[in-house]
Amino acid sequence: MSLRFSYQRLRVPAPVWTLAGRTERPRPLLLVSLVGPGGTAVGRGLLDTGADDTVFPETMAAQIGLDLSGLPTQMAIGVSGIPLSVRCAEISLRVTDGQAFYEWPARVGFAPLTSSRALLGYAGFLQFFDALFRGAAEEVILTPNALYPGVSR
């Protein structure tokens, strides 16, 4: 069963010329639950097909009881070109659209992000789903693929 998420509309301070003067930007944001050794936390993540990895703010590691010291690190370079040190861990992720529920083990990163939003990239998230981004409908449909290692309801 597929998951269907409507884009979230984020208000902007001035009309966006490239969107014919709209005063909001549609974004494929969804709620994702992180399950760690000390609990569960819910955060908002941006689906990004251009992101290599799934990365959460370091503050979420503390919320799920995950000690980041001693974890392996890797360097990531975002669109800004600025390198970022990312601590890597395996946790469980959960998503639901209110109809279907999916949970799987995922290798993700934690970084000192200035945003409270996660980046839901290929490794750990999109590798397990086929994604259909429907621009006119402002929604995304995620369908688990053959790599999906988790459970569903």
Q: Which CATH code for domain 3-17+27-152?
A: 2.40.70.10
pLDDT exceeds 90 at position 113: no
Going by pLDDT thresholds of 50, 70 and 90, the confidence category of residue 122 is: very high
- 20-33 mean pLDDT: 97
Single-letter amino acid code for the residue at 87: R
Position 26 scores a pLDDT of 98
Going by pLDDT thresholds of 50, 70 and 90, the confidence category of residue 83 is: confident
Q: Which residues contact 17 (CB under 8 A, 6 or more apart)?
A: none
- 34-62 mean pLDDT: 96
- Return the domain boundaries, the chain: 3-17+27-152
Position 115 scores a pLDDT of 86
Position 98 scores a pLDDT of 95
pLDDT exceeds 90 at position 69: yes
Burial of residue 42 (number of CB atoms within 10 Å: 0-12, 13-18, 19+):
exposed
- Longest CA pairwise span in the chain (Å): 49
What mean pLDDT, rounded, does the chain reach?
95
pLDDT exceeds 80 at position 78: no
Please count the helices (runs of H) and the strands (runs of E) in the chain. Answer: 1, 13
Cβ atoms of 69 and 134 within 8 Å: the answer is no
Position 81 scores a pLDDT of 80
